[in-house]
Amino acid sequence: MKKILYGLLLLSILTIGGISVMAEELNQPFAKGEINPYSKFFTGTTHLNMLVTRDDVFNSSIGNVTFDKGARTNWHKHSGGQILLVTAGEGRYQEKGKEIRILKKGDVVKIPPNVEHWHGAAPDSEFAHISIEPNIPNNQTTWLDPVTDKEYK
């Protein structure tokens, strides 16, 4: 009987410990989504949850993008611009030729049309943002070279 009680006590300690580890997951308002289908244009692991898909009524697409620590986009540009709404974690944003900007929850980044840029997670933090692509159907994304480790740091 003592062995059974001891086993149950040990199991409950392990279970409670497991719950506290799960609670450390990135706290964001939208579901993480599936592995990003555009992964070939990213370094590291990212997830995408499309909240609004392209259509002729709203002329935009809106997606929740979640980045693992250190994950980032390639350099790219949008012919119709892009807006990022930071929802969780700490991230990075950089326009070609400018300094890296640290991003925190609540930050908004308005990226003008055809500006080369990249964005992603900090080296030691997951990161999530809402990506809004306005001006559809004419907003096309042009993917460029990966961001090197030297550029990232």
Residue in the block written with tokens 């929802």:
87
Residue 12's pLDDT is what? 38
Q: What pLDDT digit, counting tens, does each position of 4-44 carry?
A: 333 433 333 333 343 323 334 789 999 999 999 999 999 99
CB 109 within 8 A of CB 67: no
What's residue 23's pLDDT?
Answer: 32
Contact call for residues 96 and 138 (beta carbons, < 8 A) = no
Instruction: Express each pLDDT in 66-117 by its tens digit.
Output: 999 999 999 999 999 999 999 999 999 999 999 999 999 999 999 999 999 9
Instruction: Give the pLDDT score at 17.
Output: 42
What is the value of pTM for the model shown? Answer: 0.82
- Nearby residues of 94 by Cβ (< 8 Å), 6 or more positions away: 100, 101, 117, 118, 119, 151
Residues β-bridged to residue 46: 67
The mean pLDDT value of the chain amounts to 87
CA distance 91 to 147: 14
The DSSP line for 13-43 is HHHHHHHHHHHTS---SS---EEPTTGGGEE
Length in residues, the chain: 153
Q: What is the pLDDT of residue 2?
A: 44
Domain architecture of the chain: domains with CATH: 2-152 (2.60.120.10)
| Structure tokens that stand for 7 in this block | 């086993």
